[in-house]
């Protein structure tokens, strides 16, 4: 699924360190029309919900290195898309 990832220009170079941790790939890059200090990365994310329009990567530091903790998605209206959690099937 194609989603937008907005990143502050000052940390754009640091994004390269976490890129391999994402289950997706960058398909394009452009300047933000609403924020002079931001760049928008077009990301093809295999785990993104079908309705996802934008995403946010939540990082944590482990032994001094960044690690992806979570990825949040929003739809085109800005509504947060809760993760889909499969419920275990009851076995009789």
List the structure tokens of 84: 């889909």
Q: Give domain status of residue 85, yes or no.
A: no
Asked whether the predicted pLDDT for residue 4 surpasses 80, the reply is yes
> In terms of Cα–Cα distance, which of 37, 42, 50 is closest to 22?
42
Task: Kindly report, residue by residue over 44-60, the tens digit of the pLDDT.
Answer: 999 899 999 999 999 98
Residue 62 placed within a domain: yes
Q: Is residue 36 a part of any domain in this protein? A: yes
Q: Which residue carries 């960044």 as its tokens?
A: 66
> Which structural domain range is residue 11 located in?
2-79
Residue 14 lies in a domain: yes
Would you state the pLDDT for residue 63? 94
Within a domain: 84: no
Asked whether residue 63 is domain-assigned, the answer is yes
For 7-30, what is each residue's pLDDT tens digit? Answer: 999 999 888 889 999 989 999 999
Domain presence at residue 86: no
């Amino acid at each position: 699924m194609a989603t937008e990832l907005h990143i502050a220009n000052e940390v754009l170079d640091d994004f390269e360190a976490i890129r391999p941790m994402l289950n997706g790939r960058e398909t394009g890059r452009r300047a933000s029309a609403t924020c002079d200090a931001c760049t928008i990365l077009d990301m093809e994310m295999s785990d993104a919900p079908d309705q996802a329009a934008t995403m946010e990567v939540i990082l944590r530091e482990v032994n001094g290195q960044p690690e992806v903790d979570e990825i949040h998605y929003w739809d085109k209206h800005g509504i947060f898309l809760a993760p889909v959690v499969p419920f275990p099937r009851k076995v009789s």
